[in-house]
């Protein structure tokens, strides 16, 4: 099955490992990701804060391109890109004038039905069809994960169909339980990591990340699992700093969901590039690598 | 700032109307239950100003303070306030709107580095069609440096360089620094649309 794919800027740069992992695991799940041609930046939250027109026009062009492929669905693994694109689609459906104005300048117009999906929606579908469990043959049993969703997966600045519970999302937990893991219940799964504040207002962001970290540690987790490249980079790259400043002794690897599922699908640490984390994550999978794996019960 | 809010009827109508129209939020529906205040991610940082109080300021016509306060600039757009609002007011959209209105009113941002960041990001995305992380960070830091030099904050320059270069080095080590160049040819479509809109 083919599905349109929008990687976005960070998956081509600081989080290129996530792009790589998505391609690997979706291919194995029988889903061929077709990257849309000549896509542009979605504007992220910055466009929403500086220019309302650009905040719609930037993702709108990508939607037009995706719709012109003839495919019916596009997966967007980055939470910010996903949110901006979904919001633009629904907003323009309610504001025909603006849609017409933007369409007039686009080579590929927005028209017709089209589904913008988060990575979890697509993965959950493979669970329903049975493909995921067929391919996930191993259980990374050292993992005691907490699932961290952040903001953009469940909270939107416009009325859009929210794909999971806004206060207690379960998408990642469902996937991890299915492959035999026991994700830990905790309180900070939808709290904000500070996003761009990690750069432009570090004090605020470090404070927010410290709280997330303390809760994860106190619940007994040994890693966090995320879908958002911004959350991943923030919690991973700044972890030493905010833990040192706030007296937190523990360090937790921050894993992409694709890494956990990828290891379960028998890819290696090198295949998935898990060695590109700031807080080392390879140790969590050593057992799988060495013993050739405990079969999932 | 005093706790009592002054009612400025002459300003209240036009200002509140503009904020409501541009943000798409019905502020008069706010009945001050303050669930947003309890939900705010940056509540510790913004002092007196909580989302409900910001709404109250707008409704009473206190334009000056509404355009220039910690919440407007420190809001991280996590949208928790709006998700928990019983009247579906997305206050996150209000702070986003007020940032733009403050800029249009030529009001110096309370947190210049935050304004620089978002400007640099969107400019980079518009200029090349895709955001080049290193380029946009360079522009962002350049604008901060100019501010620091103007304000003679040389310690801040030193700290900024130290923090960013430490991060950059560890990113390079993990091959998470990208040295290639990203662009989208179709960026002209967006630039043309934007130019037409700005006319």
Domain spans of chain A? 2-119, 137-291
Q: What is A2-119's CATH topology?
A: Glutathione S-transferase Yfyf (Class Pi); Chain A, domain 2 (1.20.1050)
Please report the pLDDT score of residue A256 as a whole number: 98
Contact B120, A41 (CB under 8 A): no
* Cα–Cα distance, A38 to A54 (Å, whole number): 18
* H helix or E strand, kind and range, residue B103: helix B91-104
Interface list for A 100-119 with B (CB within 8 A) = 101-102, 104-107
Mean per-residue pLDDT, B125-150: 95
Which chain B residues are closer than 8 Å to A53 by Cβ? 193-194, 197
Using pLDDT thresholds of 50, 70 and 90, give the confidence band for residue B12. Answer: confident
Question: With pLDDT > 90 as the criterion, what percentage of chain B qualifies?
Answer: 92
* Cα–Cα distance, B138 to B146 (Å, whole number): 12
CB contact under 8 A, B77 and A57: no
Interface list for B 66-105 with A (CB within 8 A) = 74, 76-80, 82-83, 88, 90, 92-93, 96, 99-100, 103
Collapse the DSSP code of B88 into the 3-class scheme (helix H, G, I; strand E, B; otherwise coil) and give the result. coil
* Cα–Cα distance, A239 to A206 (Å, whole number): 9
Q: Domains of chain B by range and CATH?
A: 9-104 (1.10.1060.10), 112-198 (no CATH)
For residue range B140-166, what is the model confidence (pLDDT) as tens digits? 999 999 999 999 999 999 999 999 999
* Cα–Cα distance, B79 to A166 (Å, whole number): 11
User: Considering chain A, what is the average pLDDT of its residues?
Assistant: 96
Give the nearest partner residue to B41 out of A191, A196, A237, using CB atoms.
Answer: A191
Question: With pLDDT > 70 as the criterion, what percentage of chain B qualifies?
Answer: 97
For residue range A135-153, what is the model confidence (pLDDT) as tens digits? 999 999 999 999 999 999 9
Please report the pLDDT score of residue A297 as a whole number: 45
Please report the pLDDT score of residue B4 as a whole number: 61
Write the DSSP string, A120-183: HHHHHHHHHHTHHHHH--B--TT--EEE--TTTTT--SS----SS-SSS--HHHHHHHHTT--P
Question: Which numeric CATH code is attached to A137-291?
Answer: 3.40.50.11810
Q: What is the ipTM of this complex?
A: 0.94
- In this model, does residue B2 exceed pLDDT 60? no
How many CA atoms lie within 13 Å of B1's alpha carbon, on the beta-carbon side? 18
Interface list for B 154-193 with A (CB within 8 A) = 163, 167, 170-171, 174-178, 182, 184-187, 189-190, 192-193
Q: Please calculate the CA angle B59-B79-A201 and round it to the nearest 5 degrees.
A: 95
Please report the pLDDT score of residue A286 as a whole number: 87
Please report the pLDDT score of residue B63 as a whole number: 93
For residue range A83-101, what is the model confidence (pLDDT) as tens digits? 999 999 999 999 999 999 9
Please report the pLDDT score of residue A292 as a whole number: 52
Total H helices, total E strands in chain A: 15, 7
Using pLDDT thresholds of 50, 70 and 90, give the confidence band for residue B3. Answer: low
Mutate to test the interface with A, among B176, B180, B195, B198 (most CBs of A within 10 A): B176
CA-based torsion, A235, A240, A241, A242: positive or negative: positive
Give the nearest partner residue to B79 out of A61, A102, A157, using CB atoms.
Answer: A157
* Cα–Cα distance, B18 to B8 (Å, whole number): 15
Maximum distance among all Cα pairs of chain A, rounded to whole angstroms: 61
Which of B2, B5, B21, B11 lies closest to B56 in space, CA to CA? B5
**Chain A contact for B43 (CB, 8 A cutoff):** no
- In this model, does residue A13 exceed pLDDT 70? yes
């Amino acid at each position: 099955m083919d599905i349109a794919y929008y990687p976005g800027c960070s998956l081509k740069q600081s989080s290129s490992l996530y792009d790589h992992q998505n391609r690997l695991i979706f291919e194995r799940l029988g889903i061929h990701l077709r990257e849309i041609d000549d896509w542009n930046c979605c504007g992220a939250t910055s466009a929403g804060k500086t220019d309302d027109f650009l905040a719609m026009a930037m993702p709108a062009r990508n939607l037009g391109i995706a719709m012109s492929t003839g495919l019916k669905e596009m997966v967007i693994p980055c939470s910010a890109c996903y949110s901006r694109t979904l919001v633009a689609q629904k907003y323009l459906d309610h504001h025909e004038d603006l849609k017409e104005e933007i369409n007039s300048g686009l080579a590929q117009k927005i028209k017709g039905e089209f589904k913008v999906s988060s990575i979890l929606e697509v993965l959950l579908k493979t669970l329903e069809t049975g493909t995921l469990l067929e391919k996930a043959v191993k259980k990374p049993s050292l993992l005691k994960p907490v699932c961290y969703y952040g903001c953009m997966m469940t909270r939107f600045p416009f009325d859009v169909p929210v794909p999971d519970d806004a206060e207690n999302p379960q998408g990642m937990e469902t996937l991890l339980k299915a492959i035999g893991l026991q994700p830990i219940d905790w309180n900070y799964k939808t709290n904000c990591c500070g996003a761009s504040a990690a750069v432009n207002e570090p004090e605020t962001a470090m404070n927010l990340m410290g709280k997330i970290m303390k809760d994860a540690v106190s619940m007994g987790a040994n890693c966090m699992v995320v879908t958002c490249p911004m959350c991943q980079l923030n919690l991973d790259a700044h972890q030493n700093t905010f833990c040192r400043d706030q007296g937190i002794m523990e360090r937790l690897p921050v894993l992409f969901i694709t890494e956990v599922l990828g290891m379960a699908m028998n890819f290696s640490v090198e295949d998935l590039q898990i060695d590109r984390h700031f807080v080392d994550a390879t140790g969590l999978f050593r057992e799988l690598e060495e013993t050739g794996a405990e079969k999932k019960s | 700032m005093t706790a009592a809010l002054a009612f400025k009827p002459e300003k209240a109508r036009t200002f509140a109307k503009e904020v409501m129209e541009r943000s798409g939020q019905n502020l008069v529906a706010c009945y001050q239950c303050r669930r947003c205040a309890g939900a705010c991610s940056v509540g510790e940082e913004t002092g007196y100003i909580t989302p409900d109080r910001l709404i109250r300021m707008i409704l009473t016509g206190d334009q000056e303070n509404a355009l220039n306060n910690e919440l407007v600039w420190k809001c991280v757009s996590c949208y928790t306030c709006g998700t928990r609002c019983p009247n579906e007011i997305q206050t996150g959209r209000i702070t986003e709107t007020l940032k733009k209105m403050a800029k249009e009113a030529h009001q110096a941002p309370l947190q210049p580095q935050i304004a620089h960041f978002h400007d640099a990001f969107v400019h980079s995305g518009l200029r090349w069609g895709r955001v080049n992380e290193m380029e946009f960070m360079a522009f962002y830091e350049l604008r901060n440096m100019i501010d620091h030099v103007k304000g003679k904050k040389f310690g801040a320059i030193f700290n900024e360089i130290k923090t960013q270069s430490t991060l950059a080095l560890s990113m390079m080590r993990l091959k998470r620094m990208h040295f290639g160049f990203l662009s989208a040819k179709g960026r002209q479509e967006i630039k043309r649309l934007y130019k037409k809109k700005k006319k």
